[in-house]
Structure 1
């Protein structure tokens, strides 16, 4: 494992991710009208195919995009693909990206605008074994703290800042792989995890002391929603220049969002079916893990008090405020100035919501209840 003894590591990775990316998706051609009057659209995901993106996948598989006259190509993400960069470079028409990461790219010149907010809550945890005594961010002092870098650490740094800790001096930062092996081996004291992915990996692993799968009580979880340093995550971004001048693109944005919202509503009401769609799409994760993920992601989306996809201005402002005050291990903040008022717009998603609501669908999920998921060893 690589520690923060090399202070430039996380910063260098983040710079690579925010500016031009360590790599880009292959160009899929220029958006154009398809056969039968359809419009071809490229959507860039921010990670590999998994239930985190179930609503988009369902919208494609269930024909919600097709009924809008769209032929949507879903571009898989990965470690070396930065969705907001792919979008800004014209290699995608829309992209899914976390808000603070995308705003940092925007401040550095990326011409992107947020047009919808899918996740209403943060799914990021910092997890440790219960016997390490880490029950608050202040308890991270003097500990080996894992994080992925690439901008995923902003909430962690915000929590440490709030607790009076300096990420560059008061903890040992460890570059964490995208799994939980370092925590399970005892190489680090606390690990970054998504509620819908890496946390489940812990509960799918066997406790060598008992021979049984780990139970939740074996761990303590720092949930940034409860700590008060949560930032907005999965959002839909559009090309700013095209959004300002291209009427056809504006109309496509509304149609794309209408299909997308229907996809997420479908996954709220058909969790197992959406798990199956994701597995069919080629996810390498197991069936019980994907069902867990679909269920946990639903918890981040629903309920959506203002209607699914609407950007809550208070939550957006809180994310910006944290991004302007949170300091990394080098003392730098995520953002150096307030984003322009045009950084986000709700007009397109509100129009899409009106259309979806008119079709008789529940767009708020006020009565939403998650299902109960039993994880199998290894997520099988």
Structure 2
């Protein structure tokens, strides 16, 4: 009889073990860029067990030029991604069935900046200067909208294509650099260079930035999985905002090249962008998507209006 009970117990343990192994749904989220505190909420959700508690086994993968999140997710091998809101609309304009689930950065960190003492602190002072231009992305979109809004002709200045190395600005080969408040501005100051910031938001050009997205197929076929992922992710972001020091420590764990002081500054400087008002992180409104779409059409990034009710959904956000 004892052997029978041992066999039954062993069988039950094996069955329980198999259930546990199958209980967690494996998903991947592809970030917009390389690992850094810009994505701290995802690291917090993973490292503090929020995804695990939601029955998810989440791989958080860095993005970058070689791993564009929209292509990686649209290809079907990855389930979630992070990209700028404008890229979601541009992709849908090309027939790519991606859907925004939550806006992480409701205030864009994108700015243009010059070295302190140059006297370049408004778009009007771009005239006759050499302006760094990141071609083809949302940086160019907002930059061109800023010129149009302020009546500055691109013919009155010199545009020079740049990538990510700020040396041309710091060595005064360029006069103005396109970058981010929570990254390049911090890096310039860390190198001992103070800067003047020209913020498009000050001219009425403030659009959604980093946005969590998936595919129409995921929303249709796996809504429970999407719900659990969105909820756990936003809890991670809320925790990161409440505890920036811990969030920066968890960020540094993702890559040995990261510096805690830099990531902590990035995290703290990101909080006003993540929480520009009383609305919870993730919130999004049709009016903001409409404004962004209009800008894309004016800039010839979109041929015409889209059905925005298919481009984003709020049904996975807390009421």
Of the three residues 157, 178, 203, the one matched with 2:144 is: 157
- Is 1:126 the counterpart of 2:99? The answer is no
Cα distance change of structure 1 residues 185 and 40 upon mapping to structure 2, 3 Å threshold: same
Larger RCO: 1 or 2 (CA < 8 Å, sep 6+)? 2
Larger radius of gyration: 2
Q: Secondary structure at the match of 2:253?
A: helix
The structure with the greater share of residues assigned to helix is 2
Query: Over residues 354-374 of structure 1, what are the superposed CA-to-partner deviations in whole Å (9 max), with x where a residue is unaligned?
Result: 5xxxxxxxxxxxxxxxxxxxx
User: What is the number of equivalent residue pairs in this alignment?
Assistant: 299
Checking the alignment, whether the CA contact within 8 Å between 1:111 and 1:239 is kept in structure 2 is: yes
Poorly superposed stretches of 4+, deviation over 3 Å: none
Checking the alignment, whether the CA contact within 8 Å between 1:54 and 1:275 is kept in structure 2 is: yes
Point out the more displaced range, 134-143 or 101-110: 134-143
Residue 34 of structure 1: how far off its partner (Å): 8.1
- Is 1:144 the counterpart of 2:130? The answer is yes
Correspondence for 2:224: 251
Query: Over residues 129-159 of structure 1, what are the superposed CA-to-partner deviations in whole Å (9 max), with x where a residue is unaligned?
Result: 2333222222222221112224032111110
| Mapped partners of 1:183, 1:114: distance in 2 | 35
TM-score (norm 2): 0.89
Of the three residues 228, 231, 234, the one matched with 1:261 is: 234
Residue 296 of structure 1: how far off its partner (Å): 1.3
Of the three residues 254, 265, 270, the one matched with 1:292 is: 265
Correspondence for 2:196: 220
Query: Over residues 49-99 of structure 1, what are the superposed CA-to-partner deviations in whole Å (9 max), with x where a residue is unaligned?
Result: 000000011000001111110011111111222211111111210110001
CA RMSD in angstroms, aligned pairs only: 1.7
Q: Secondary structure at the match of 2:188?
A: helix
Point out the more displaced range, 193-202 or 315-324: 315-324
Cα distance change of structure 1 residues 94 and 133 upon mapping to structure 2, 3 Å threshold: same
Structure 2: which 5+ residue stretches go unaligned?
Answer: 1-18
Correspondence for 2:208: 232
- Is 1:198 the counterpart of 2:184? The answer is yes
Q: Secondary structure at the match of 2:316?
A: helix
Cα distance change of structure 1 residues 285 and 149 upon mapping to structure 2, 3 Å threshold: farther
| Mapped partners of 2:95, 2:153: distance in 1 | 29
Residue 36 of structure 1: how far off its partner (Å): 4.1
